[in-house]
Chain A
């Protein structure tokens, strides 16, 4: 498969901090993958995703999206990526349709196509009847579904997901995971960050475990499990590689 994202010796140290959030991290992600970024708290997952989304600038190192360098082509890259943040990144007093129309318009989508896609998307996630209701009246699961739709309306080549199923009911989770599989089958590369190791084991085609700003191990889920003696799940591998100490950062 063609390489879609390449990261070369990426380092990031935040202003005023003496600690590197990312340290000489190199990574290659092929198009069509469902790539899982796993790691303990403070490992550098969010910093890596934020850098790949063009939100923060690296201290050193290089990033490419296809053949486009992030330093010169940030806007062009942002047109081709979708982001689904962990927060319900929606305006609570606006309706589902109004939220989706606004965020879709920022990608320059024509109004007619956008309206059609919004209607189709809401139907796909079972929210047609709630299209005109304000987001603040939605349950957590309903908000997560709209949150996902807002990130995929412009049909991105790469979709970044940060904990897309956290705090979600079983039925909503089913719908979200099914939609993500569907998108992946249509060619969207998915980069996914989560603490749900069981979900990641079954959902991802490839996984990288990050700790202290560097990649500890990378491979297909099954390969990783087989690489650690006595491990039967990804969780066993994770504990084996990162230890069982609590990782609290303030």
Chain B
């Protein structure tokens, strides 16, 4: 036990004397979590909360143009642009404004679309009512038998900034389509009212028959509504914890290069005890790192305009996840440090490998939008197990039982990497 204690104490001293290493361990993850959350939060706001300017060119100057303008003007987060510097905008100018990157969207209502729609709707309503009259009203029977008239399809042009993503374009397009079909329905409805000579609008379009109710599915009543911070904090906590692979790998390689390894291997102490000292020290480091990032998320985030992250009653389970994820990261660091011969091998390999694990694990892009093959690969990333455990706890109010499976995988990963390192060391050094 004393050998383990002095080994751990030695590791603490080595870390305390290495300011660069400490910076990697504490300062860099802190900067990372603040920077990434700020960037992702502002992106989220750009899409969800800030105002989107839309250029509208109304060449129709009829009913449809007015209805579209009215709907856009009433839409939340939309700023309607119909003229620039007091000058009206035409089709060509609208295209230039969008292609030049000044605006992301422009909508051009072609001339005559209202008349065309009116004509078409009147004709069709006449036809329907005429067919209806065939059974009981002879006076309009001939109207119902008039031939089907052909109309040219009128196109509303939507110009998109080439830099606008497909998801954004699809979202905007579907909103405009919905708005136009609402206009069409309203028009048909008005013609029916008119043709049937009703003195009073029965108000059939006033109430929505079907509505959507958005519910975040989670256990218990006190569930937290997920937001960018709650997605980012656990993801980047894990990323920071796994970055421990780099200094730990360097630590082991340095030991080999300095010759202290020879002294350790010729001492009456097992390699497991030597590694035990590192495991104890670096586990504590992981937990300090976790606490630091949690404190930043709770106290610094509100000061810089981000939402406060409050783990609430789920804190003990989060500590448990950080502890087990820390062990998995340490196992990986020990394996890399054991396999590598030089710092030039261990440091870049460790860093890049952690970035790959993070990408696969869903730190940057949620796993459910990855291609199917990558989703399958992702299931083998320890960072994915850690993130899913954190999400179970934070977003779904999960219990210890709910996270037993990902924690089991992380522990297994730790045991396998550690045994592999000890086995390789034994094989490599004694043969």
Contacts and interface: CB of A to CB of B under 8 A. Distances in A.
Interface of A: 14-15, 53-57, 75-76, 78-79, 81, 83, 85-94, 98, 101-103, 105-108, 134, 150-151
A75 B3 CA distance: 15
Nearest to A90: B260
22 contacts: A14-B431, A53-B266, A76-B268, A78-B267, A81-B266, A85-B259, A85-B262, A85-B263, A86-B259, A87-B262, A91-B14, A93-B14, A94-B10, A94-B17, A98-B10, A98-B13, A101-B6, A102-B10, A105-B3, A105-B6, A106-B3, A107-B267
A233 to B, nearest CB: 31
A106 B267 contact: yes
Contacts of B14: 91, 93-94
Interface string B263-274: 111111100000
A89 B256 CA distance: 9
Contact of A79 (B7, B13, B262, B268): B268
A88 B9 CA distance: 21
Contacts of A108: 2-3, 268
Contacts of A85: 259, 262-263
A89 B10 contact: no
A54 B266 contact: yes
B264 A106 contact: yes
Contacts of A56: 429-431
B102 to A, nearest CB: 58
Contact of B258 (A54, A75, A86, A92): A92
Given A14-B431, A105-B2, A93 B17 contact: yes
Given A85-B262, A102-B10, A134 B268 contact: no
Which range contains the number of B residues in contact with the other chain? 20 to 34
A53 B264 CA distance: 11
Contacts of A107: 267-268
A103 B267 contact: yes
A155 to B, nearest CB: 14
A115 to B, nearest CB: 13
B201 interface: no
Interface of B: 2-3, 6-7, 9-10, 13-14, 17-18, 258-269, 429-431
Chain B interface main SS type: helix
A86 B263 CA distance: 11
A106 B17 contact: no
B267 A89 contact: no
B218 to A, nearest CB: 49
B325 to A, nearest CB: 29
A54 B269 CA distance: 12
A107 B18 CA distance: 27
B10 A91 contact: yes
B263 A83 contact: yes
A90 B10 CA distance: 12
Nearest to B5: A105
A55 B6 contact: no
A89 B429 contact: no
B271 to A, nearest CB: 12
A55 B267 contact: no
A69 to B, nearest CB: 16
B266 A78 contact: yes
Given A79-B268, A108-B2, 7 more contacts: A54-B266, A75-B268, A81-B266, A89-B258, A89-B259, A94-B17, A108-B3
Nearest to B260: A89
Contacts of A134: 17
A106 to B, nearest CB: 4
Contacts of A87: 258-259, 262
A106 B269 CA distance: 6
A96 to B, nearest CB: 13
Interface-central residue, B7, B265, B267, B430, by most chain A CB under 10 Å: B267
A198 to B, nearest CB: 26
Nearest to B269: A106
Contact of B262 (A15, A89, A93, A101): A89
In the A-B complex, the 5 residue pairs with the closest CB atoms: A87-B259, A89-B259, A93-B17, A105-B6, A106-B267
B247 to A, nearest CB: 13
A108 B5 CA distance: 12
B33 to A, nearest CB: 29
Contacts of B269: 106
A134 B259 CA distance: 17
